[in-house]
Every structure is written in structure tokens, then in C-alpha cells.
């Protein structure tokens, strides 16, 4: 796939167009740092937006869940889907309440998802989903058995029609407001992992793995 995406009528950013990014590398950095996506679809005339985990491999997004999931069963019918991921980087406090904002990075992906039916690809997709959340964990835990795989539906969405939107930097006030006597600036925000808490039923001799003690979300 080309590194840059030509925006379509559906993905072209209209509001705050200067924040639009159609570069695939930037979009993938946002996707790879995020943990939760929101899946938008319509079922029986009712719009739904469902949060869920996801994973990416090259130019494909994967989501999964119970085979009985309304969301996944609906997507499996070939309905259009919209998947979004947003990273919040800071609160932007301007001198005017009207010009307050947020620093953020977001991605919107549109398309049609397809079910992963090949057993090997399905297992690989589940590994991708696991490694996206916590790299190194998959190899240390029990692998899904046949019953669990049968009860799980995995959907693949090609990342073909997408756009990103990024806001960075200090507040932007109206010229007359720069003399207004109040503090203005940015409050940075980031996700910080706490100290791992062992399962009460865990063997006390079992040490906490380094990937848990040093967990962090990075671009």
C-alpha cells in the first residue's frame, strides 16, 4: 500500500483541515500506541458505537470477540464499519473559554470487515491482538483450545480508506485576548502504568515478569 492516502469524500477532514494527516506511517504510529478502538456500525436501523481492543499487522486491523456478539455478527454480514482510535495528549487552556482545546491524535478507518476463517490466520490474529496489548505475554500463557477458538469470531478490516487528525502545541487566542489576565498553557496528559498487583491465588514464588513491571505505551 502507498505511504500516503488520497482522502476520499468520506475521509477528507473538513473542520480544522490543517490538522489532517493522510500519511500511513503517522496513522500506524497512532494505531500502534492506542489500546481501545471504537467500532461504529448500524444494525436494524440503530447506530451503535462499541469500544473494544484491536491489533494491527501491516495494512490490516483485527478485532475479536464472542461468536455470539451482535457487533461481530453484524459486521460479518458485510455492513459498512467505522473504526476510530484517539490518543489524548493534553488539555489546552486558552485565555478565552471559547478557544480552549485538547492536544490529540486520532485515526478513522472506513471499510468492510471480513471474518477470518482460516484456522492458522485466526490463531495468528489472536496473537497479534495479544501482543498489541502486552508484548511477550502470548508465549508465556496457555494457548486457545479448540473450543475457545470455535467460540471466538475474528474480523479483519483492510486499512485502505483512512485519515488521521492531529492537534499539537499551545493555545491559540484571539489577538485581543492575549492581554487578558489569566494563566494559559497546556496540561500534558499521558497513560502511566501502576505497580503490578499479583493474583491472590498466585504461587508466591512466581516473580512478576519484567514486561509487567516496566509496562508502558509508547509510539
The per-residue pLDDT string of the chain (219 residues; one tens digit each, 9 = 90 and over) reads 556 768 999 999 998 999 999 999 999 999 999 999 999 999 999 999 999 999 999 999 999 999 999 999 999 999 999 999 999 999 999 999 999 999 999 999 999 999 999 999 999 999 999 999 999 999 999 999 999 999 999 999 999 999 999 999 999 999 999 999 999 999 999 999 999 999 999 999 999 999 999 999 876
Q: Which domains does the chain have, with CATH numbers?
A: 17-213 (2.30.110.10)
Here the cell at position 67 is 461468536
**How many secondary structure helices (H) and strands (E) does the chain include?**
5, 11
Element (H, E) at 201: none
Contact 155, 76 (CB under 8 A): yes
β-pair partners for 42:
47
Residue 25 and residue 179: Cα distance in Å, rounded? 40
Integer-rounded Cα radius of gyration of the chain: 21
Nearest to 108 by CA among 84, 91, 130: 84
Amino acid at each position: 500500500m502507498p505511504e500516503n492516502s488520497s482522502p476520499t469524500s468520506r475521509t477528507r477532514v473538513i473542520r480544522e483541515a490543517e490538522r489532517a494527516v493522510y500519511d500511513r506511517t503517522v496513522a500506524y504510529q497512532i494505531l500502534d500506541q492506542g489500546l481501545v478502538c471504537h467500532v461504529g456500525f448500524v444494525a436494524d436501523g440503530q447506530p451503535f458505537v462499541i469500544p473494544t481492543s484491536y491489533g494491527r499487522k501491516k495494512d490490516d486491523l483485527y478485532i475479536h470477540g464472542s461468536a455470539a456478539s451482535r457487533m461481530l455478527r453484524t459486521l460479518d454480514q458485510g455492513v459498512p464499519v467505522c473504526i476510530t482510535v484517539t490518543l489524548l495528549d493534553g488539555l489546552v487552556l486558552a485565555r478565552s473559554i471559547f478557544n480552549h482545546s485538547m492536544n490529540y491524535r486520532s485515526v478513522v478507518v472506513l471499510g468492510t470487515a471480513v471474518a477470518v476463517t482460516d484456522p492458522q490466520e485466526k490463531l495468528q490474529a489472536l496473537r497479534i491482538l495479544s501482543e498489541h496489548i502486552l508484548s511477550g505475554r502470548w508465549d508465556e500463557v496457555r494457548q486457545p483450545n479448540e473450543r475457545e477458538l470455535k467460540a471466538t469470531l475474528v474480523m479483519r478490516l483492510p486499512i485502505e480508506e483512512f485519515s488521521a487528525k492531529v492537534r499539537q502545541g499551545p493555545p491559540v487566542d484571539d489577538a485581543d485576548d492575549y492581554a487578558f489576565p489569566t494563566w494559559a498553557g497546556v496540561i500534558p496528559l499521558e497513560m502511566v502504568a501502576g505497580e503490578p498487583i499479583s493474583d491472590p491465588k498466585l504461587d508466591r514464588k512466581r516473580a512478576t515478569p519484567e514486561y509487567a513491571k516496566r509496562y508502558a505505551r509508547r509510539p
